[in-house]
Structure 1
Amino acid sequence: MENNKSWEKKVVQNYVGAPYNFIPFTPKQYEYPKKHLPMHDDIEDDLISGEIVYEMKAETDIFVDDGTDAHHFYKNARGQYSIPGSSVRGLFRTNVQILSFSSFEDDIDDYALMFRNVAGSSETNKDEYTAVIGDSELISLGRDPMNDQKEIKVNVLKKVKAGYICKENGQYFIYKTCVDVDEAKEDRNYYVLSEKTIIGEYKKYQEQIQRENDALFAYDFFIQNDKYLQNKKECIGEKNGSYKPYYQNISYKVHQQMVTSVRNLEKNEEDALKGVVVSSGYMRKKKVVYIVPDIDKTKKPILISRENEEAFKADFEKRKNTLGEEKDFFDLPQDENPKPVFYIEVGGKLYFGFTPRLRVFYEYTIKDGLPNVQKNGTLDFAKAMFGYSKNQESYKSRLSFSDAVIKESPVREKASKEVVLAEPKPTSYLDYLNQKKEQGVITYNNADFQLHGVKQYWLHQNAYENVNGLTNNNKKIKSVINALPVGTVFIGTVRFKNLTKPELGLLLWAIRLEKDSQMNIGKAKAYGYGRISVKIKKAKQIDLQKSYKSTGALDIDPFNDISVDDVIIDYKNFIIKKCGLEKKIEKNPRIRDFLLMKNFTKIPQAGDIRYMELKEYEKRKNKSDALPRVNEIVNKNR
């Protein structure tokens, strides 16, 4: 077994992989008879109620975040280290869904993802992006102030317009600018200014001021502090560490489509126009600012639909952590104050964002990729046991999960570590969608795309102790881990009411799985944290005759032991018969893959289940290589 206690950044030829994989959605589903749903008011004689006590042992360091800025391990109201009942519920519920051929429809957001193709990128969906956003053109921004023989040129998107987004009466609108352009033509209504021009003119100004005390600098807005230019004002090519994206009211002058002056609004220059300067996130090569002319509220605004609003918000939430301190720049405004925005209307659809190179919506929503059997609203085991709420109908859970509380104290947190907790995103279509070589690359723009399945993290032999390569100089994408050590034990309880025998067997199987099974929980699962073994310590059912029908003294222990193995076998036989399975349920391909990923005796080598380095990922995208299947990874080195 390969030791994976350290994480070294290295590029491996033709590596394609991830610390997660996917369990395919079930092509058939067990339909739970709705008439068999019991009432919650009473404990029924022919059903089973009781409790299960389980033990979770950390087989690697484990971290469950308390949600505070300090990021300590979660503690309950008594100050004891604990794993919240909600986290335990989520883990076991997913196991139930997989093991019972239940639907995942309620767990998948139904919105259109967004994507963007960066200039010069070799993204597979470049043509799809261009089809929406249009072609770019190379425009001149005038002569280089430091070399009159050179012309400054940049690429701009011809169809994209600038405007202002406002929130009014709970809805978002885009107002146009005071610059009149033909919306049907490819006319820009905003201006582009290069930092080369600003810094070059600033150097000339510095030379001039030594000769003339009254020399003026036309772009003095940008040098009043150190945060408005991506380059240091003294030198093109030297990154300004103080820079952050911004937009600011300014006055400006234009001559022949070229910005000749940008100053503070209060300076009231003659012939100056009002507007807003916009400078987006740091980019290594393209360093320009945009001048958006003043808002014109006399023109009819464009209404942003609720559907587009919700999709934009969902996309922002997915990216928020990586945006860090810059997130407010890319968020929708929270009040009626106008905020500069870029937009394009194509084929009756509106796309908008806070840089000209917009993130655009895919044609189809995530849920469109679910198999039809997953979307038919059928009642299944997971809904019947854990409860559901849909439209006007709801049913309460028959299960209750306590916090899993630490067994022994004192246990101390290990030394804090800063790591990059990269979260897998559904926009990675080579991972999240089924790919077929003969069909070319499948994205969310393909009408027949199919989701890969339920994401599950691989078990790791160890949590990484040497975090060289996990850290990053970019503070905005770092997270803090204050883990508890290997060997930490938690005790939790699941109480159940009015379960059928198959339901109880399913629940017990979901908690225990198989002999060699382990699971993972908490943060940093991708780096080996949170691998746990789970043992059922006690499983008891209420004996109703002892509880309610005894004529003697009150029985303080009205429970009978449950034969865990027998009840699990009963469930397996039940589901094989009901779903018409030809083999043992463990041999079913999707159950087999799930149990392979949970088998601690078959943990893949660390190098086969790590995140890809950027260079590896770029090569992968060029070749359009799909994620290897579970059994391919497990059997790779055996």
Structure 2
Amino acid sequence: MIKAPYNFVPLSEKVFFPPWAEQVSHDIPFSDGESGEIEIKITAKSPIFIRNHEVDNSDDNLYYTDKNGKQISTEFCNHINSQTGAKEFYIPATSVKGMVKNILEIISFSKIQTSDKKFAYRNFDELYYKQKLLNNTDNIHMGWLYSCGGDWCIEDLGQSNGGNNRIKYTDMALAKKDVIQSRKDAYSKYKLTNYINPITDDGVIVFTGKVGREKTREFIFPMSDINNPIYRYQSDDSVIKNFREAYYLGTPNENDLWKKLFSKRFKKGEHIPIFFLKNQQQEVESFGLSQLYKLPYKYSIADGIGSHANNSEKVDFAETIFGYSKSLNNKVKSLKGRVQFSHLKLSNDKTPMSKIQKTLSTPRAGYFPMYSKDGNSMDTNYIISGWKRYPVHNNANEEKDTNANKDMLTHFSPLPSGSIFKGKIRFHNLRETEIGALYKSLLLDGDDDSICYSLGMAKPYGFGKIKIELDLPKLKKEKDPYIDTFENTMNEESNWNDGKPFKDWKSSEQLQELLAMMRPYRDDYLTYGEKNQKGYEYYGQFKRTSNRRKRLNYTQSSNINEETQVPKSRKKISKPTQVRKLAEELGINANEILKFASEENIDIENEYSFLQQDMVDTIKKYLGNA
């Protein structure tokens, strides 16, 4: 079982659309509409941190420089009092609003908000990946990618022939010494060296693979030719969007090779070597920067949310209260929210703690065993796991991640447990059931004092555990009747389009899973899976999970986790048993397989599942033994 500090509240099968949604107006009050002001107090039950929006570089302790050279504040969100000159810490209104809105979305069965993007993956165990790339190398094309008048152009250089377009270093020795550079130097500059192969036509040697590892061969890309087919795409075409998303272009996680080299070359119109597949229409279906590139999933995120996506034009409960802005038929439709939050100012004399360093990167959503409800990947009909949440911890882990790469560490100075923040929530013209939904979102603990909310950064390590206290306004009724009205609304048959309501909202899977994750649980099971020195989860864990294709709900995993488990130590081996075994079957040295892995950017320690019997023919092709 893979452990993780996060889990999911499953999506409701149906989305609730309030019958009165289209009647909302800021000018015409509802007959049962009321307005009021709630005083809210948040008490931190563990250290809490929300990063400041500005960098104060007057003191080295107030910021750090990340791997991209960007200065990042380590301070809690604050502003300078114009009268006293003192720093005053506060929780931004947007942070509290986001927390409350997410709770309300879940308990009111509102739509989950997602993008229609496609993730990309490289999994040698997946049948779809094997069929499309791994066992189909003869049909992989080589090409030149370049910018053409604001569009993306791909020149088809023909099929890569399963690796036959590669040249051995022994052949390279025939060339002039000043033409062929050392591999490490060539890769660091990604030098595309014009080289006259004594066996083939003129071509360009393209250095691929990992830096600093010995290789036996490189790809030869033919020179550009006016007779070659050219495919032209606009930036919003799906094949380009899929490439941009696979390599995270324009995001903080942008592919290093693209960011440091290819981005500049592309803007200049220079040629970039790529590999691609064609579809039945002989158009480019997908492409990447290596022969076994990350392949876009067949389905997008929106395909996995069912009715949540099919009714995007309708207004759900959360949108009715908090407002929205959406584009429909090239027209923007919007509604201002009827609930406003103030900043919550620190009201006691707590001061920031010493700087803490933690690894806050998380598995990406392309890791389908954790993000798919039934274990199916995005290449089959699937349902996403639901609303991602971080279960509340008993205690925060404040220790530095000593084994982590320093470039992956996030620095921050949280405010300590016991910090108290106070502010206001104002609402205007809310109906009785809407007030009940707002109250319920803020008072989920009820009589259960163990339930806590979570807010801010580093939640995977137990930071940001909070309790909420309210001073409610004097309205027509006390709070309980409003909450009862909301619950009755969720159970009322006439409020559902298909006339089939949830029989008991209180016992719904969504509410029970949410409450379970708000009760502190064993900290040792709210951690990421075992990691290697690079910070990645062991691929073996991923493989076992993907084969089992089953993700446990939080309540299920909590039950089986009652047993005490002793973590097993792992031995780090340079040549896994699988490598040696396959080398014996092929009658070659194990180093040849390691070189093959290097050529294809495969990390043996994490991704050794390709070393299976059904891969023998493919490996032989790559190693020139076919």
Q: TM-score range by the shorter chain?
A: 0.7 to 0.9
* Amino acid of the structure 2 residue aligned with 1:416: I
* Amino acid of the structure 2 residue aligned with 1:617: Q
Per-residue CA deviation, residues 439-496 of structure 1 (Å, 9 max, x unaligned), is xx521111x2112211111111111122346x423x4433223322222222232222
1:96 Cα deviation from its structure 2 partner: 0.8
- Counterpart check, 1:186 vs 2:120: no
- Counterpart check, 1:521 vs 2:521: no
- Counterpart check, 1:366 vs 2:366: no
1:527 Cα deviation from its structure 2 partner: 1.5
Equivalent residue of 1:254, what SS? coil
- Counterpart of 2:231 in structure 1 is 302
Equivalent residue for 1:382, pick from 306, 313, 318: 318
Equivalent residue for 1:568, pick from 476, 483, 487: 483
Per-residue CA deviation, residues 171-193 of structure 1 (Å, 9 max, x unaligned), is 2111245xxx4x5x837695445
Aligned-residue Cα RMSD (Å) equals: 3.4
- 8 Å CA contact 2:4–2:526 kept in 1: the answer is yes
- Counterpart of 1:87 in structure 2 is 95
1:74 Cα deviation from its structure 2 partner: 4.3
- 8 Å CA contact 1:330–1:354 kept in 2: the answer is no
Quickly say closer, same or farther: Cα 1:274–1:635, change in 2 above 3 A: closer
Give me the whole-angstrom Cα distance separating, in 2, the residues matched to 1:286 and 1:562: 76
Per-residue CA deviation, residues 57-114 of structure 1 (Å, 9 max, x unaligned), is 221222223366233234244453333322222211111111111111xx11112221
* Amino acid of the structure 2 residue aligned with 1:124: D
1:564 Cα deviation from its structure 2 partner: 3.0
Give me the whole-angstrom Cα distance separating, in 2, the residues matched to 1:383 and 1:84: 21
Matching of residues 319-468 of structure 1 within 5 Å: 321=252, 326=257, 328=259, 333-334=266-267, 336-348=269-281, 349-372=284-307, 375-377=310-312, 378-388=314-324, 389-391=326-328, 392=331, 393-409=333-349, 411-417=351-357, 419-435=358-374, 442-446=376-380, 448-468=381-401
Matching of residues 254-269 of structure 1 within 5 Å: 254-257=197-200
- 8 Å CA contact 2:40–2:469 kept in 1: the answer is yes
1:343 Cα deviation from its structure 2 partner: 1.7
User: Max radius of gyration: which structure?
Assistant: 1
Equivalent residue of 1:364, what SS? coil
Give me the whole-angstrom Cα distance separating, in 1, the residues matched to 2:384 and 2:547: 20
**Structure 1 segments (4+ residues) deviating >6 Å:** 283-287
Give me the whole-angstrom Cα distance separating, in 1, the residues matched to 2:26 and 2:273: 54
Quickly say closer, same or farther: Cα 1:338–1:55, change in 2 above 3 A: farther
Give me the whole-angstrom Cα distance separating, in 2, the residues matched to 1:66 and 1:285: 45
Per-residue CA deviation, residues 511-549 of structure 1 (Å, 9 max, x unaligned), is 23123321222222112122222222x2336xxxxxxxx
Quickly say closer, same or farther: Cα 1:508–1:170, change in 2 above 3 A: farther
Aligned sequence identity (%) = 22
- Counterpart of 2:155 in structure 1 is 175
- Counterpart check, 1:159 vs 2:139: yes
- Counterpart check, 1:47 vs 2:33: yes
- 8 Å CA contact 1:73–1:413 kept in 2: the answer is no
1:597 Cα deviation from its structure 2 partner: 0.9
Matching of residues 105-184 of structure 1 within 5 Å: 107-117=113-123, 123-125=124-126, 127-135=127-135, 157-177=137-157, 181=158
- Counterpart of 1:142 in structure 2 is none
Quickly say closer, same or farther: Cα 1:88–1:251, change in 2 above 3 A: same
- Alignment length (residue pairs): 514
* Amino acid of the structure 2 residue aligned with 1:564: K
- Counterpart of 2:581 in structure 1 is none
1:303 Cα deviation from its structure 2 partner: 2.4
Question: Which stretch of the first structure deviates more once superposed, 64-73 or 457-466?
Answer: 64-73
Quickly say closer, same or farther: Cα 1:249–1:186, change in 2 above 3 A: closer
- 8 Å CA contact 1:115–1:427 kept in 2: the answer is yes
For CA contacts below 8 A with separation 6 or more, give which structure has more relative contact order. Answer: 1
Give me the whole-angstrom Cα distance separating, in 2, the residues matched to 1:478 and 1:310: 30
1:320 Cα deviation from its structure 2 partner: 5.5
* Amino acid of the structure 2 residue aligned with 1:420: T
Quickly say closer, same or farther: Cα 1:197–1:297, change in 2 above 3 A: closer
Give me the whole-angstrom Cα distance separating, in 2, the residues matched to 1:192 and 1:498: 73
Give me the whole-angstrom Cα distance separating, in 2, the residues matched to 1:476 and 1:52: 43
Quickly say closer, same or farther: Cα 1:287–1:62, change in 2 above 3 A: farther
- Counterpart of 1:611 in structure 2 is 528
Equivalent residue for 1:248, pick from 184, 191, 199: 191
Quickly say closer, same or farther: Cα 1:311–1:540, change in 2 above 3 A: farther
* Amino acid of the structure 1 residue aligned with 2:198: H
Give me the whole-angstrom Cα distance separating, in 2, the residues matched to 1:450 and 1:329: 37
- 8 Å CA contact 1:97–1:382 kept in 2: the answer is yes
- 8 Å CA contact 1:112–1:311 kept in 2: the answer is yes
1:295 Cα deviation from its structure 2 partner: 3.3
1:288 Cα deviation from its structure 2 partner: 5.4
Give me the whole-angstrom Cα distance separating, in 1, the residues matched to 2:253 and 2:407: 6
1:221 Cα deviation from its structure 2 partner: 2.7
Equivalent residue for 1:73, pick from 75, 86, 107: 75
Quickly say closer, same or farther: Cα 1:222–1:627, change in 2 above 3 A: same
- Counterpart of 1:97 in structure 2 is 105
Per-residue CA deviation, residues 393-447 of structure 1 (Å, 9 max, x unaligned), is 3222222223333223462242231x22232322222111122xxxxx521111x
- Counterpart of 2:472 in structure 1 is 539
Matching of residues 251-290 of structure 1 within 5 Å: 251-257=194-200, 275=204, 277-282=206-211, 289-290=218-219
Equivalent residue of 1:534, what SS? strand
Equivalent residue of 2:485, what SS? helix
Quickly say closer, same or farther: Cα 1:82–1:623, change in 2 above 3 A: same
> TM-score normalized by structure 2?
0.73
Give me the whole-angstrom Cα distance separating, in 2, the residues matched to 1:197 and 1:466: 53
- Counterpart check, 1:221 vs 2:221: no
Quickly say closer, same or farther: Cα 1:324–1:110, change in 2 above 3 A: closer
1:360 Cα deviation from its structure 2 partner: 1.2
Quickly say closer, same or farther: Cα 1:74–1:168, change in 2 above 3 A: farther
Quickly say closer, same or farther: Cα 1:320–1:46, change in 2 above 3 A: closer
Equivalent residue of 1:88, what SS? helix
- 8 Å CA contact 1:174–1:301 kept in 2: the answer is yes
Give me the whole-angstrom Cα distance separating, in 1, the residues matched to 2:347 and 2:435: 26
> TM-score normalized by structure 1?
0.72
1:572 Cα deviation from its structure 2 partner: 1.9
Matching of residues 569-608 of structure 1 within 5 Å: 569-577=484-492, 578=495, 585-600=505-520, 603=521, 605-608=522-525
